[in-house]
Amino acid sequence: MQSYVALVADMTGRYAHVYGSAVNWSSFVDQLEEVGCEVIENQTDDYEPIEEQTLDDMHECGVITVQELTTHTDAVLA
């Protein structure tokens, strides 16, 4: 599994940086689209090396997980 950070938009056009793991980028995009996000860009390189960062480190950078996006934000997802 690889770790990725994506810039996504919800149905209202609000943006978020979302962290997650998948076999490849394409699979991560599929995960995000399944919850109703529009994937704008792969931002993984801006957060290298992701594997060495903790979830708290990612939160400090304004990055949330897919689960947090769907359960702890007011994002409008399809």
Parent domain of 48 = 2-71
Structurally, the chain folds into a number of domains equal to 1
pLDDT at residue 42, as a whole number = 97
The structure tokens listed for 6 are: 């994506």
Q: Are 18 and 69 in contact (CB under 8 A)?
A: yes
In a domain, 47, yes or no: yes
In this prediction, residue 33 carries a pLDDT of: 95
DSSP-based three-state secondary structure for 17: strand
Residue 77 lies in a domain: no
Residues of the chain with pLDDT under 70: none
Q: Is 76 inside any structural domain?
A: no
**Sheet-wide strand order for 15-22:** 38-42, 2-9, 15-22, 63-65
Residues 6+ away with beta carbon under 8 Å from 35: 66, 69, 70, 77
